[in-house]
Structure 1
Amino acid sequence: MAAAPDGRSLSRKSTSFSLHSPSLNSLRLRRIFDLFDRNGDGLITIDEISQALCRLGLDAAPSELESAIRSHIPPGSAGLRFDDFEALHRELDRDFFGGGESELEPVDAAVQEQTDLHEAFNVFDENGDGYISAKELQAVLKKLGMVEGQELARVEQMIGSVDRNRDGRVDFAEFKDMMRNVINKRT
């Protein structure tokens, strides 16, 4: 990241709520994909997208969705696979939010770090209650294909190692301390 004349770091304008970590971006998209894929068949049909948008209060005519999405559905397929969904997301990000542009703006590094940590925390806090439970952590670890996610007892040990107040879950302050310790160990 470059520095502005006043010492603040420079960052590309935020686009479609993109995180700085590609693996967290992929995990966030995977969660969205899984929410849209109502029948769990690994495909998102235009009907499933339409239903999801309706639940969000964003009514869209299936014909409009089809014209916007059809080019990302492989020939002979009934819907979008995850890779197709990622490609659609990148295209929408670029077309509507200017993703991929190199425009830089000054950003306070501390504010950016806090924002990134909140976004990362929210990836793990699947139910949005402000805490990461062992089951939520296990779900994320499984989605990432990590062997640690196979045993709940092991995940509970991971939670316990950073759970200062011993309530069985990780709040944002505990998460932030854990992430800073991980970063400090790497440097």
Structure 2
Amino acid sequence: MSPISHDDLHRIFKNLDKNNKGIVNVEELHLLLEKIGVRTTSEELEKFVGKTSLDYIEFFFFYEAMVKAKIAEKESDEDSSDDLSKAFKVFDLNGDGYITCDELQSVLSRLGLWEKRSGQDCKDMIRVYDENLDGVLDFEEFKNMMSASSNSENI
């Protein structure tokens, strides 16, 4: 979400304020947010805002809170991606951008998580997340595997 100028924000408020009373109700705000792809219910929005309508100053602070939340979300995503990138590099022993069965088995063995299993077990592990069926995991496939792993821990 890129910052909007004060003039543009004021123009948006005026367009939402159909009856020129200097107030925008949550329902009007909800319709605007839906148009720009923000999915929420009117009830959630009202709970977030804390009231059923906003004057321009409250609307301005609402916008500022949305921008700050979006920036924080983006920073969190970047931190998470950076951590995954570091984890990927641990497994990608030769640095070619792919995790092979041998690399996976080697790292898991060093971590004490692989005990005299066959190479087929390793290939089966990779095959589950190998979307393009090339026999190795690239970063996106690794990210999906880690995401699936963390989602199953939350169940």
Alignment TM-score, normalising by the size of structure 1? 0.43
Query: 2:86 — aligned with what?
Result: 119
Q: Offset at 1:151?
A: 2.1
Q: Give the drift of 1:117.
A: 0.7
Identity of aligned residues (%): 41
Query: 1:149–1:117: structure 2 CA closer, same or farther, 3 Å change rule?
Result: farther
Distance 1:179 1:148 in 2: 21
Tell whether 2:119 aligns with 1:152: yes
- Offset, 1:154: 0.8
Hey, what's the Cα distance between the residues in 2 that align with 1:164 and 1:175?
10
> Is the 8 Å Cα contact of residues 138 and 149 (structure 1) preserved in structure 2?
no
Aligned mates of 2:145, 2:116 — CA distance in 1: 18
Structure 1 CA distance for aligned equivalents of residues 107 and 116 of structure 2 = 8
Q: Distance in 1 between matches of 2:75 and 2:114?
A: 37
2:87 aligned partner, one-letter code: A
Taking only aligned residues, the RMSD between alpha carbons, in angstroms, comes to 1.9
Partner of 1:96: none
Give the corresponding residue for 1:185.
152
Unaligned runs of 5+ in 2: 1-64
Aligned partners of 1:148 and 1:181: how far apart in 2? 23
User: Which runs of at least 4 in structure 1 moved beyond 4 Å after TM superposition?
Assistant: none
Structure-2 separation of matches of 1:149 and 1:169: 21
Alignment of 1:8-19 (within 5 A): 8=72
Q: Give per-residue Cα distances to partners, 1:113-140, cap 9 Å, x unaligned.
A: 1101110000000000000000000000
Q: How many residues align?
A: 86
Q: Post-superposition shift, 1:150?
A: 3.5
Post-superposition Cα deviations, 1:141-162, rounded to whole Å, max 9, x if no partner, equal 1001113563211111111111
Q: Matched residue of 2:149: which SS?
A: helix
Q: State whether residues 134 and 156 of structure 1, in contact with CA within 8 Å, keep that contact through their aligned partners in structure 2.
A: yes
Tell me what 1:173 maps to: 140
Q: Which structure is higher in RCO with an 8 Å CA cutoff and minimum separation 6?
A: 1
Segments of structure 1 that go 5 or more residues without pairing to the other structure are: 10-106
Instruction: For residue 183 of structure 1, give the secondary structure of its aligned residue in structure 2.
Output: helix
- Secondary structure in structure 2 of the residue aligned to 1:108: helix
Alpha-carbon distance in structure 2 between the residues aligned to 1:146 and 1:172: 21
| Partner-residue secondary structure (3-state), 2:151 | helix
Aligned to 2:129: 162
Contact kept in structure 1, 2:91 and 2:107, CA below 8 Å: yes
Residue 142 in structure 1 maps to residue 100 in structure 2: no
Normalising by structure 2, we get a TM-score of: 0.51
Q: Which has the higher helix share?
A: 2
Q: Distance in 2 between matches of 1:109 and 1:149?
A: 38
